[in-house]
Amino acid sequence: MSFPLIATVGLLLCSNIFMTFAWYAHLKHLGNKPWIVAALLSWGVALFEYLLQVPANRIGYRQFSVGQLKIIQEVVTLSIFVPFSLLYMKEPLKLDYLWAGLCLVGAVYFMFRGNMT
C-alpha cells in the first residue's frame, strides 16, 4: 500500500468521526435546545473534521482523482456511520446497511477499475 492511500484513509477515518458527531450527536443530546445552539456546537466540532479532511484530500489527490477520493470518502463515511448509529445512537441494525455497503463496493469497483491492472 502506498503512503497517499494510508494517509488519506487514516485522516478521513478520523475526520469522519468528528463529522458524524457534528451532524448527528446533537439529535441525542440537544433535542430540547434551540436549533442554533446545536448548529453552533456542531460547527465547532466540524472544524476538527475540516482540519483532517482537507489534508486528507490534498495528500490523496497526489494519487487519486476527485471521483476516487469521493468514493473513498463515502466508504469511510459508511464505515464510521454504521457503528455510530448502532452503538451511540442505539438505532436498530437493518439489512439496508448491507445493501448500501454492497452498492459502495460496486462504486469502488467502477471508480478504480482502470487502476486495477
Q: How many CB atoms lie within 10 A of CB 59?
A: 20
Give the phi and the psi of residue 53 in degrees, each rounded to 5.
Answer: -70, -40
Global confidence as pTM? 0.84
Give 45-64 pLDDT, tens digit per residue: 999 999 999 999 999 999 99
Name, in order, each residue with C-beta under 8 angstroms of 75's C-beta and a sequence gap of 6 or more. Answer: 104, 108
pLDDT tier for residue 116 given thresholds of 50, 70 and 90? low
CA 89 – CA 65 distance, rounded (Å): 34
**pLDDT band for position 39 (cuts 50, 70, 90):** very high
